[in-house]
């Protein structure tokens, strides 16, 4: 079972992929959040033979939906219609800060945050 993890941001979207057994997630790529985003994610899903999608559920400190939540919901709908794969929401609060703490801020930070989201889901699923 292979998973893709997505850390959605208004400018950049981090992508992580699991190993084929779905045991651990690894940073993969950072995409621009532009009009090509959906097709880029669909391409990764097809090329990597992904079985399920995990997207960071964006909420504020109080646990209520924040301004990014609406865009995440639209992406969930678009991916569901385009790919027909199961989509799971995983809390993503502070994952970018956690990635920065581990590796510093780099061009790969958002992919690292996506791997934190994906690994959180995979650990909880066990």
Tokens of 43: 């391409």
CA 104 to chain centroid: 19
The answer to whether 86 touches 1, Cβ cutoff 8 Å, is no
Task: Kindly report, residue by residue over 16-70, the tens digit of the pLDDT.
Answer: 999 999 999 999 999 999 999 999 999 999 999 999 999 998 777 777 777 788 8
Task: Kindly report, residue by residue over 70-122, the tens digit of the pLDDT.
Answer: 889 999 999 999 999 999 999 887 788 888 888 889 899 999 999 999 999 99
Domain ranges of the chain: 3-125
**Alpha-carbon distance 72 to 91, whole Å?**
12
What pTM did the predictor assign?
0.92
The answer to whether 121 touches 12, Cβ cutoff 8 Å, is no
Q: What are phi and psi of 47, to 5 degrees?
A: -65, -40
CA 123 to chain centroid: 15
Domain 3-125 classification at class level = alpha beta
């Amino acid at each position: 079972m292979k998973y893709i993890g997505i850390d959605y941001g208004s400018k950049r979207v981090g992508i992580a992929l699991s190993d084929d057994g779905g045991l651990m997630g690894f940073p993969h790529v950072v995409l621009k959040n532009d009009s090509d985003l959906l097709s880029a994610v669909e391409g990764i899903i097809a090329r990597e033979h992904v079985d399920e999608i995990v997207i960071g559920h964006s909420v504020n400190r109080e646990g209520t939906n924040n301004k990014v939540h609406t865009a995440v919901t639209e992406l969930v709908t678009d991916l569901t219609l385009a790919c027909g794969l199961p989509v799971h929401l995983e809390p993503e609060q502070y994952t970018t800060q956690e990635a920065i703490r581990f590796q510093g801020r780099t061009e790969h930070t958002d992919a690292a945050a996506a791997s934190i989201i994906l690994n959180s889901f995979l650990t909880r699923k066990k």
